[in-house]
Structure 1
Amino acid sequence: MSTKTKLRAAAVGGTADDVETAFYEALQRGDIEALMACWADDDEVFCVHPGGPRLVGTGAIRAAFEQMFANGAIHARPARVRKVESLASAVHNVLERVEVLTAQGPHHAFVLATNVYHKTAQGWHLVAHHASPGSAHEPDDDNDARQTLH
């Protein structure tokens, strides 16, 4: 059994939360196989990185993450997760705390991301990841409630 097959098999019995944990752990290790095992094997999955184009399909998503991992792992940790869940889908909106290593030492930035999971016969898998630039400073909880759209 291939590593990819084993990773997919391990995710079958899990929850959307388990897939999200595996996704962020794979980012932190720079492990492309573990990261791709989180994604549904579907031509219509999509991913948008901050300031980037929409990537459609696992091939395009894999290529983008391989390019990112060429520069090292991505040290992103989810926080302040907001969830909307049903029997066969889950939407998680997270504040990603990203550690960036510079010559002056580590700095943190924040990215707002939405992860969408679907439950299929093969288990829970990621079908969409959309990330937008956040701020250089972690917003406080009070700001979350006061922000309005347009």
Structure 2
Amino acid sequence: MFVKGLSSTTKEFIFSSGSFINRIGKLQHVSLPSVANNNKLVLGKSFGRFSKFLCLRQSKFIFGSEFGRVERVKSEDSETILTGESIALDEQSLEEELQKAIEVENYAKAAKIRDTLRSLHKDMKTTLLGANSRFYESFKTGNLSAMQALWAKKDEVCCVHPGVKGISGYDDVIESWNLVWANYEFPLEIKLEDIKVHARGDMGYVTCMEFVKTKGGRWGGQFVTNVFERIDGQWFICVHHASPIDL
């Protein structure tokens, strides 16, 4: 489903904290002292989550962040834990029973089954929101071990940080977070708005507006989609996509 974001023969992350970043938001050519080849095209842009720049040369890319002191995150949390396997089985059997009840025109029974399914879906959404909140808790604190535990350990996982190419594969995704956080002072300050959650079976996703503000800076925003897969009863992130927006 995903194309590897990094070459199988060359996987190199380069971090440079002292390089110029265009803070107006327009793409420019950037001169980097750490880059020997002057023919490489480098694009720089400032976003609310972090400032970064991308070196377009084979599979090499550069993340940079220049933040001052940053503060707390606000996030909503739900910690209810259910058995995912039993939920999936119950959902499937209930939907089959619902269809049978409709076919024989037993509408009273069908109504009861619909109510049960609504309650089941609500519980699924609660656990999914809890996983999403744990993601933002690790994000705000820079807790790499927590971030590692949240991602599905698969080659197909994909992470798209604002303004840069998607990164695929568990190891490379985790390394990208490590590098993105390299110049942070934690905790960060984040606000989430317009949170919507959708879940069915073993797949679910959360969309939200993510706003980030650094000390002395302005709010920057991203539209975020977090896709989760339920594995052995637990939700794991398989896709994180953050698209910058104009405020």
Name the TM tier (shorter chain).
0.7 to 0.9
Q: Does 1:97 align with 2:211?
A: yes
* Per-residue Cα deviation, 1:84-126 (whole angstroms, up to 9, x for no partner): 211211111110011123xxx1421110010001111151111
Q: Does 1:29 align with 2:141?
A: yes
Task: Report SS of the residue matched to 2:183.
Answer: coil
Q: Does 1:41 align with 2:153?
A: yes
* Per-residue Cα deviation, 1:7-47 (whole angstroms, up to 9, x for no partner): xxxx9x46221111111011110111111211111111000
Q: Which stretches of structure 1, 4 residues or longer, exceed 6 Å deviation after superposition?
A: none
Task: Report SS of the residue matched to 2:243.
Answer: strand
Q: Higher strand proportion, which one?
A: 1
Greater gyration radius:
2
Q: Does 1:130 align with 2:244?
A: no
Alpha-carbon distance between aligned partners in 2 of 1:18 and 1:38, rounded to the nearest angstrom: 11
Task: Report SS of the residue matched to 1:47.
Answer: strand
AA aligned to 1:99 is K
Q: Does 1:54 align with 2:166?
A: yes
Task: Report SS of the residue matched to 1:71.
Answer: coil
Q: Does 1:107 align with 2:221?
A: no
Q: Equivalent residue for 2:190?
A: 76
Residue segments in structure 1 that go unaligned for 5+ positions in a row: 1-10, 137-150
AA aligned to 1:61 is V
Task: Report SS of the residue matched to 1:82.
Answer: strand
Residue segments in structure 2 that go unaligned for 5+ positions in a row: 1-78, 83-126
TM-score (norm 2): 0.46
Alpha-carbon distance between aligned partners in 2 of 1:81 and 1:58, rounded to the nearest angstrom: 26
Q: Equivalent residue for 2:33?
A: none
AA aligned to 1:124 is W
| Counterpart selection for 1:87 from 201, 210, 221 | 201
Alpha-carbon distance between aligned partners in 2 of 1:58 and 1:79, rounded to the nearest angstrom: 28
